[in-house]
Structure 1
Amino acid sequence: MQLKPLKGQHHVSAITKDAKRNYEFYTNTLGMRLVKKTVNQDETSMYHLFYADERGNPGTDLTFFEIRNAGRTYPGTNSISLTTLRVPSDESLQYWKKRFEKYNVEHDELTEMNGKKSLFFRDFENQRLALISDENNKGVSGGKAWDKSPVLVEHAIFGLGPVVLTVADLRPTERVLTQILGYRESGKYNLSAGQHDVTVFETGEGGNGAEVHIIVQADLPRERAGRGSVHHVAFRVESEDELRKWVAFLKENRIPSSGFVERYYFRSLYFREPNGILFELATDGPGFEGDESFEQLGETLALPPYFEDQRQAIESRLEPLDTQG
């Protein structure tokens, strides 16, 4: 079966305990646009918030499930241990360092990831994040920053960068990335002053928007997920027809998966790689403007058509979240 290469990151989905504070941080502090306020389609009593570039272009979405009783995260292996966000230049990182100091955002000193300047930081729930400079980047393009953001457009976040996994054993994850998903190893580097060796894999056009970085730490316990942890990472598939080929391909290779899943804003497929990390393949379209105009994205609770008859019951289980203005 002839499959087209995956195009890079589609979105990363994480866990928050507090949708209001989450909305405040990711829109007002990080300057991302809330492009969709909806619910977790597998558990409609919880919010699912999508932050992205100006319209939620594929490869720009950082999403959160609100789990109000989520406990703390105990970091460890077999996890998505770092989400990176692309900014335009090395100069942008200086801007962000000053902004983090102004808003009391916990952050480290400037460093490098795979030869790119970067700035590691945490949100109010210790979500592990980093900004990465696109100044010397080549490969898949990012999105377009929202011009109504409180962050200067020339320094604004405009896409997802490399996703970092921490595993106890590289080989099983490496086999899935290279033999099943079609990634190629593109290099190695040291992170945190040589403490961790990182192996880089890339797909499609490569570059910041199409890389998976893997750290091996066999001496750590398995991560116990909670608020501030990442639930899954999704990779870009061109079309629904292509996604259905992936469904068949995984079945042929005896890899258990969800099969085809309708998410309305995109179509998906889920499976776990051998170390237990949840991967999703998601289509580039249809996008977020099927039920809201570009100008009003994220302002009201959006529900896919197949949930509209449950709207009253769904809204009654959610705490109000004002996302207008």
Structure 2
Amino acid sequence: MIEHPLLGMNHVTAMASDPQQIFDLMSKVLGLHLIKKTVNQDALDTYHLYFTDDMGTAGTDMTFFTFPNQAKGKKGTNMISRASFRVPNDAAIDYWLDRLNQHNVANEGITTQFGDKIINFHDQDDQQFQLISDEHNIGVAGGTPWQHNDVPDEFAITGLGPVTVTVFNVAHMDFVLTEIMGYTKQADEGNFGLYEVGHGEPNLGGHGAQVIVEHREDLPVAEEGYGNIHHAAFNTEDRETLGTWIDRIRDYRLPQSGYIDRFYFKSDYFRAAPQILFELATAGPGFLQDETYDEAGIHLELPPFLESQRAKIEAGLKPVETDWRGR
């Protein structure tokens, strides 16, 4: 038994070709709060944009890197293939189908997966997303909708749902999820398997704590680039708990980064399978420690250890307008 179980999703980070376009989709269409406009701490010419609920709650973060001059990614096997967003109920799914169509967002209409109503859709980079209904969901609580978006609260996105991982070696992925990360397999549907952590425990499990594994041996190996997901992060309570997980990953001899201080959270990255990068991240200290709620996401914010390089960093970034107040 794992002493400090994972708590579900923390964030998902994808790669986008254009920061303005991804802001317009995530904020203006999906109604998410750009709580932090900063840079990739490992590539300072690259934005890192964090779209969340109203207050930046862990488990609601869909984030994006915008590497300059990056090639478009190629779909295939051995990739984190889809991120999803939770909405309150089936009526919200109907609302979102109309909204996506009104904003000319390509989608596959309303379907079902593992008994839940969903809408699969994609952006201008062919990044794959999903909206999933919480009509029958019990588990990790969602966040609070951004108070300045124009989506009615009863339909608004409340956080991240299951992330889908497409793999060639499904037995290896099953081992990592169940034996190392503490997930249990709940169901099969075609070549998809549904895994969940904290199933049946109070305030745990459910859509905010699920991974879907797609088994595909018929596809070419995916290639990284914009339009693909970079990594998926799983939630740990605090730095001490993260330390126990770093030791656990080391015991299984998976390639890992070790402890990294990202200022807004602490983390450890590990290679769960070929080309599958997972992160373990703390729920805090959070995004509002260095700027106010009213200013969050409007200006470029840098952690203290990068502030001395601000002029050089700003000169290397493509301007992006993220001030929602005048729209």
Per the shorter chain, which TM-score range? over 0.9
Counterparts of 1:82-231 in structure 2, within 5 Å, are 82-190=82-190, 197-204=191-198, 205-231=204-230
Q: Secondary structure at the match of 2:219?
A: coil
Distance in 1, Cα, partners of 2:226 & 2:274: 21
> 1:273 offset after TM fit, Å?
1.2
Distance in 2, Cα, partners of 1:98 & 1:58: 28
> 1:49 offset after TM fit, Å?
0.2
Aligned partner of 1:18 in structure 2 is 18
Aligned partner of 2:290 in structure 1 is 291
Question: Is the 1:185–1:200 Cα contact (8 Å) retained in structure 2?
Answer: yes
RMSD: 1.2
Distance in 2, Cα, partners of 1:189 & 1:144: 31
> 1:249 offset after TM fit, Å?
1.9
When the two structures are superposed, what TM-score results if normalisation uses the length of structure 1? Answer: 0.96
Counterpart amino acid of residue 50 in structure 2: F
Question: Is the 1:238–1:284 Cα contact (8 Å) retained in structure 2?
Answer: yes
> 1:200 offset after TM fit, Å?
0.9
When the two structures are superposed, what TM-score results if normalisation uses the length of structure 2? Answer: 0.95
Q: Secondary structure at the match of 1:271?
A: strand
Deviations 1:218-246 (A, max 9, x none): 01111112221100000000110010111
> 1:32 offset after TM fit, Å?
0.7
> 1:138 offset after TM fit, Å?
0.8
Question: Is the 2:8–2:197 Cα contact (8 Å) retained in structure 1?
Answer: yes
Distance in 2, Cα, partners of 1:60 & 1:278: 19
Q: Secondary structure at the match of 2:65?
A: strand
Counterpart amino acid of residue 189 in structure 1: E
Counterpart amino acid of residue 28 in structure 2: N
Aligned partner of 1:193 in structure 2 is none
- 1:2–1:203 distance in 2 versus 1, CA, 3 Å: closer
Aligned partner of 2:53 in structure 1 is 53
Distance in 1, Cα, partners of 2:4 & 2:305: 31
Aligned partner of 2:35 in structure 1 is 35
> 1:207 offset after TM fit, Å?
0.7
> 1:3 offset after TM fit, Å?
3.0
Distance in 2, Cα, partners of 1:72 & 1:46: 16
> 1:252 offset after TM fit, Å?
2.4
- 1:110–1:305 distance in 2 versus 1, CA, 3 Å: same
> 1:201 offset after TM fit, Å?
0.9
> 1:311 offset after TM fit, Å?
0.9
Counterpart amino acid of residue 181 in structure 2: L
Distance in 1, Cα, partners of 2:105 & 2:273: 35
Q: Secondary structure at the match of 1:153?
A: coil
Question: Is the 1:145–1:156 Cα contact (8 Å) retained in structure 2?
Answer: yes
Counterpart amino acid of residue 315 in structure 1: E
Counterpart amino acid of residue 181 in structure 1: M
Counterpart amino acid of residue 179 in structure 1: E
Distance in 2, Cα, partners of 1:154 & 1:242: 35
Structure 1 unaligned regions, length at least 5: 191-196
Deviations 1:16-67 (A, max 9, x none): 1100111111111111110100000000111000001101101000000012
> 1:256 offset after TM fit, Å?
2.2
Question: Is the 2:45–2:67 Cα contact (8 Å) retained in structure 1?
Answer: no
Distance in 2, Cα, partners of 1:300 & 1:236: 27
Q: Secondary structure at the match of 2:109?
A: coil
Deviations 1:77-121 (A, max 9, x none): 011111110011101111111111111110112011211110111
Question: Is the 2:74–2:223 Cα contact (8 Å) retained in structure 1?
Answer: yes
Q: Secondary structure at the match of 1:91?
A: helix
Question: Is the 1:172–1:275 Cα contact (8 Å) retained in structure 2?
Answer: no
> 1:2 offset after TM fit, Å?
5.4
Deviations 1:239-265 (A, max 9, x none): 100101111222222222100000000
Counterpart amino acid of residue 220 in structure 2: P
> 1:70 offset after TM fit, Å?
2.3
Distance in 2, Cα, partners of 1:2 & 1:12: 24
> 1:275 offset after TM fit, Å?
2.9
Q: Secondary structure at the match of 2:108?
A: coil
Question: Is the 2:2–2:182 Cα contact (8 Å) retained in structure 1?
Answer: no
Distance in 2, Cα, partners of 1:11 & 1:171: 25
Counterpart amino acid of residue 313 in structure 1: K
- 1:256–1:227 distance in 2 versus 1, CA, 3 Å: closer
Aligned partner of 2:241 in structure 1 is 242
